[in-house]
Structure 1
Amino acid sequence: MVCIMSAPPVMQLTRMGKFSMDAQAGGLMGLLKRLRPSQKESDGKQAPKATAGAKQMAMLRRLPKFLRFIPGTAQDVRVFFLVMQYWLAGSQENMSSMVQLLVQRYAAGPREPLRALARPGDVLEYPEVGVYHPRMKGRIADDARLLPGAKDESKPKVGLLLLRSYLLAGNAGHYDAVITALEERGLQVIPAFASGLDARPAIEQFFQSQGRGRIDALVSLTGFSLVGGPAYNDASAAETVLTQLDVPYLAAHPVEFQSLDQWGASSRGLLPVENTIMVAIPELDGSTGPMVFGGRAGAEGTTCTGCERACTFSADQQAQDMFTCAERTDMLAS
């Protein structure tokens, strides 16, 4: 059993070969704790969360290379950290390699012959902070100069904040529609992302120059707070970065906890948890104009009644795929 990226009591259920997560701290696990990067800067001050997170990601990449040379339980610990790497860089290729790695090492009983068939690849790495565009080669890059139309300085610029997880999964149809709608209105779009739910690294790298804003509007499509996570926000930090940008800030969101046809048919609209995470918390940051711009497709043949266009979902649109609400996307771009 492998439990990652969850609450401590859940992660303690992990059992991988001889490795048990709930074993007493000490020995190898004690060593790994001492190897964790410091949360403080060299001057003793608390490091920014974004900086600490980058250090932790760098350490996560180094640990499996270090553990490769330690026999015994360390090899199971190494696989645990490799699973985390695959998961955090969650493209289709990495998800396939993650499953094959676990099969290759732990398949037992009737499934043991599957070990010989597994061929896990190396972890494919992607930028932690970068830009995205459906027409850009590779779609994801760490250099905004590769974006289509990046050299055209005559157009107003809109900074878009996206979720990295959707981009790596290739599930970005709702983002593509917004990018296209904005570009059709003569705007230069800079779609950017950061790992996690702290958007400041992306803002600082792609929307600012020498501490001043280089965009004319900021639009978040993440459905989360600007600085924080799904259950909290750092409104003070958001205020600081928005003051530096000094541009209008809009927060639009996809429906995540229901399908688009369920949202369209409901007299209530958003669920209470959606209202809290996607509307109330971003407004504490300073966002305006909250609106739905997309969401998950409904079952085949169902029709969304959220607007007069009455979109019907077809067989090639899977229930987990993100879909745009055409009327709302046009409204957002306008």
Structure 2
Amino acid sequence: MSTRESPLPRAVAVLAYDGVRLLDVTAPLEVFSTAATLGARYAVTLLSPDGGPVTTSAGTRLLTDPVGEQVERVHTLIVPGSPGLPREVPALLLDAVLTLHSASWRTASVCTGAFALAEAGLLRGRRGTTHWRHAATLTRRHPDIEVDDDAIFVRDGRIYTSAGVSAGLDLALALVEADEGPDLAREVARDLVVFLQRPGGQSQFSVAARTPAPRHSALTALLRSIAADPAADHSLPELARRAGLSARHLTRLFNEEVGDTPGAYVESMRLEAAQTLLDAGATVTKAAHLSGLGSDETLRRVFLRHLGVTPSAYRARFRTTDPSGSGRGSPTGSQW
């Protein structure tokens, strides 16, 4: 039977260890615990390899239960990440992952927790993801894994992996939806005041935040002006005029210091502005006009190219964690 038909409680085990990233632990704990208060059948526990207190990377100490007490009744295993896992996976953690995975119905990682699953051999021949900053390292160290460096989370069989830190929220909400359906998952998202499904991938995050600080002062001023008013005239001739540079010189500076062409950078900023407008309730037409993208059709092409969704689909992001909108996502045939 499917998980949502079973009367049995589902034991969710979050595996903590010294150096674990605090939000990687607390985000899934909050989602599953909140779901339980809203009627879902979850019993949530925080485990560690030896059952003692663990100190997170933030310095916070967490009280845990030992792995051995839960090994026979694990439905969902969550393995959070830490800053140190891309360098080394501790032997005790690796043993705990293998022990709990052997008894669990599904296993998931948050952020660099994927490195623990990889070292345990659980991702061999599978698709997976991790924090964008460490995706290349995971690919290099484990060439037998198909690493998607832009996905928020990936499911391959009964193994789930998710992107950096806050993606643990997205993953946990998707697992709740798989168990309990979209209505309860939506209520959890509303309670936590988060998106039920974030469109796009890891590359969606603020253009300004992921752009290296330019060394050239004229370029710094241009980037600020584009961010301040994305809908203004930011054509290459106009940008070159404001910078006091030739179009060729400005293009070379953008490529060297921003890593993109002027036109591509302006489009990214306008896309981000359109997303913000749609989030605030603007129509597609209004978002296209105020962001500087112009027409509905241009907005649609830009959304599809960068995010893989249409503007109207983007506005519907609260409906489900399933990108298809079907609300389905759970494996069936489980005793749970």
Give the TM-score, by structure 2 length. Answer: 0.29
Higher strand share: 1
Higher helix share: 2
Structure number with the bigger relative contact order (C-alpha 8 A, sep ≥ 6) is 2
